[in-house]
Structure 1
Amino acid sequence: MELFSVPDLPEVRPGDDIAALIAERVSLDPDDVVVIASTIISKAEGRQANLAEFPAGPRAREIAATLEAITGEEKDPRFAQAVLEESTDIVMDAPFLLTETRFGHVGVNAGIDRSNVPDAELLLLPKRPSESAERIHDKLGVPVVVTDTCGRPFRHGQRAVAIGWAGMPASRDWRGESDRDGRELGVTVQCVVDELAGAANLVSGEGDGGTPVTIVRDWEFGDHGGSENLYRSVETDFVRQALRGWSYERN
């Protein structure tokens, strides 16, 4: 397959039509997949905010004080309040805030960004990324994946993952098919939206040289079953269940 960035996209402002910005700059093939960094969707949807909009409550002040004691760095309780308001579940509150967003994604600080926000102090994730992807998909006529960059358990560094998608299943299901030795596969469900997000991030890059939209060309889903499941339920997420009985202790 081939991946390439959409060139010359302007700084996105509230109300901008991202689908139109893409269509003006690239001619899409019917089987293309458009991979979009959530940053520009948040900007177009007016998800910029300032800390003053989040007066800190008692829980936020407690969290900020704990994190400040652990890290030795000053922590603004208003930021903790923003994280709380963007979350439905606090998975960990020390030594960092790990939370579940309203749409099911689990990440540090509810995915709130403090970089690449020229007109505000904070950039919140899109409220419903899959609905955002659906609107862009309806206009472009090709599958759309919305991505964010986050860390992973048990590994150093960050990578892009999918937080929304439309026009294609989230995963392709290999169960019931055979491996090279003829054995039936019983558990393999390949999360293709995450894999496309990671591949696109290699092209889009990070920092001030990053580009927010990547086109994936000549990739095929293939003749497989599909699944829309991406986020584990609490009942099947044994890591989260274990974290609920764990508390951070400083050495």
Structure 2
Amino acid sequence: MELFAVPDLPEVKPGDDLAALVGARVDLAPDDVVCVASTVVSKAEGRVKTLDDFPAGPRAREIAARLEALAGEEKDPRFAQAVLEESTELLMEAPFLLTETRFGHVSVNAGIDRSNVPGGDLLLLPKRPSESAERLRGGLDADRVVVTDTCGRPFRHGQRGVAIGWAGLPASRDWRGERDRDGRELTATVESVVDELAAASNLVAGEGAGGTPVTVVRDFDFGDHAGSDELFRDVESDFVRQALRGWRYEG
């Protein structure tokens, strides 16, 4: 398997044809997986906003005041309002905001970015990333597209790439019912392939000012396995989320 970054992409602006910008800079082969950072997808889709787009309501002001008291630094309630409007559930409100986005992804601050946002204060995640991936797939005439983001992980330091949208391949490779090396049947192993591709892509894409937002994964073989599009846990099977619903930060 080979991974390489798509070179020389310009700064993406609202309304840009992202597929055309990428397609002009790379010749895709059959079965390539194109991994695209959500930042450029959001920029092309006009998800650049200012804080003034989110007048703070009472709940946002309350949240900001508590975070300000905990952190000892000023917190803008308009940012809290943006997080609330981009979320379906606020899982934690202190010492940081952990939310579920409208498409099911759980992340800090609803995945809103405040760096590298020309013309605005905030960059929101794509509204429906898998639909974005499908549009890019059609525009690029590509077999497979993954929209990626970076986020932290419980119990570990640091961030890594994850998939938030995908098209042309299943989200997961299901090994249940197959056998291990000793002949025992696998009963629980479901491999999150799109997350693994996103993480591998992030190693090539890099971070910061030198980062490149689009990479190509070549010669990835899904194999002869069952596939599944289940990536985000539902509440009934997410025991961590259930526990968080009854927990309050007292620091």
Tell me which interval the TM-score lies in, with the shorter structure as reference length: over 0.9
Structure 2's unaligned 5+ residue stretches are: none
SS of match in other structure, 2:223: coil
Q: Structure 1: how far apart are the matches of 2:107 and 2:123?
A: 15
Q: Structure 2: how far apart are the matches of 1:129 and 1:91?
A: 21
Q: Structure 2: how far apart are the matches of 1:196 and 1:72?
A: 39
1:170 match = 171
| 1:140-190 deviation line (CA, Å, top 9, x unaligned) | 232000011111111111111000000000001000111111111111000
2:82 match = 82
Q: Structure 1: how far apart are the matches of 2:46 and 2:138?
A: 21
Q: Structure 1: how far apart are the matches of 2:19 and 2:179?
A: 39
1:189 match = 190
2:226 match = 225
2:199 match = 198
Q: Structure 2: how far apart are the matches of 1:20 and 1:226?
A: 30
Q: Structure 2: how far apart are the matches of 1:158 and 1:141?
A: 28
2:214 match = 213
Contact 2:32 2:142 (C-alpha < 8 Å) held by counterparts: no
| 1:4-61 deviation line (CA, Å, top 9, x unaligned) | 0000000001111111111111110111000000000000000000001111000000
Overall identity of the aligned pairs, in %: 77
Q: Structure 2: how far apart are the matches of 1:50 and 1:186?
A: 48
Structure 1's unaligned 5+ residue stretches are: none
1:153 match = 154
Q: What's the CA shift for 1:119?
A: 1.1
- Runs of 4+ in structure 1 over 4 Å off: none
SS of match in other structure, 1:116: coil
Q: Structure 2: how far apart are the matches of 1:137 and 1:225?
A: 22
Q: Structure 2: how far apart are the matches of 1:146 and 1:212?
A: 10
Q: Structure 1: how far apart are the matches of 2:222 and 2:138?
A: 19
Q: Structure 2: how far apart are the matches of 1:96 and 1:61?
A: 14
SS of match in other structure, 1:196: helix
- Aligned AA (2:30): P
SS of match in other structure, 1:161: strand
2:102 match = 102
| 1:78-126 deviation line (CA, Å, top 9, x unaligned) | 0000000000100100000000110000000000000010111100000
Please report the RMSD computed on the Cα atoms of aligned residues, expressed in angstroms.
0.6
1:39 match = 39
Q: Structure 2: how far apart are the matches of 1:11 and 1:27?
A: 21
Q: Structure 2: how far apart are the matches of 1:181 and 1:29?
A: 37
Equivalent residue runs for 1:100-139 within 5 Å: 100-139=100-139
Contact 2:34 2:142 (C-alpha < 8 Å) held by counterparts: no
2:62 match = 62
Q: What's the CA shift for 1:137?
A: 1.0
Q: Structure 1: how far apart are the matches of 2:163 and 2:5?
A: 17
Count the aligned residue pairs: 250
